[in-house]
């Protein structure tokens, strides 16, 4: 596209099918301890 460049390939709804394994880090456990920051967590689901 000439005017719009999409930065990321994945869309959130795709994770409905494979998500929810719960193996990822608890959000504020090991860095901040005062705020909830989820967007930077890594998915640990090997079957995604």
Partner 1 sequence: MVHLFKNNGYNIVLDVNSSSVHLVDDLGYDVIGVYEKKSLDEIVEEFEEKYPEDEIREVYGEVTELKNQGKLFTEDIYEPYIDAFKQRKTYVKALCLHIAHDCNLKCKYCFAEEGEYHGRRALMSFEVGKKALDYLVANSGSKRNLEVDFFGGEPTMNWEVVKQLVEYGRSIEKEHNKNFRFTLTTNGILMNDEILEFCNKEMSNIVLSIDGRKEVNDFMRPTRNNLGSTYDIIMPKYKKIAESRNQNNYYVRGTFTHYNTDFCKDVLHFADEGFEQISVEPVVAPAEEPYAIQESDLPKIYEQYDELAAELLKRKKAGNGFNFFHFMIDLDGGPCVYKRLQGCGSGCEYLAITPWGDIYPCHQFVGNEKFLMGNVNEGIVKKEISAEFAKSNVYTKEKCQNCFAKYYCSGGCAANAYNFNGNINDPYEIGCKMQRKRVECALMIKAALASD
Interface residues toward partner 1, by CB under 8 A: 1-13, 15-16, 18-45, 48
Nearest approach, Cβ of residue 10 and partner 1 (Å): 5
Cβ of residue 28: shortest distance to partner 1, in angstroms? 5
The least distance separating partner 1 from the CB of residue 46, rounded to whole angstroms, comes to 11
**29, 21, 30: which is closest to 48 by C-alpha?**
21
DSSP state for residue 15 in the 8-state scheme: H
CB 44 within 8 A of CB 19: no
């Amino acid at each position: 596209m000439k005017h719009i460049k999409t930065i990321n390939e994945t869309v959130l709804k795709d994770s409905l099918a494979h998500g929810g394994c719960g193996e990822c880090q608890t959000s504020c456990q090991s860095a901040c301890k005062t705020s909830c920051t989820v967007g930077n967590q890594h998915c640990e689901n090997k079957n995604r």
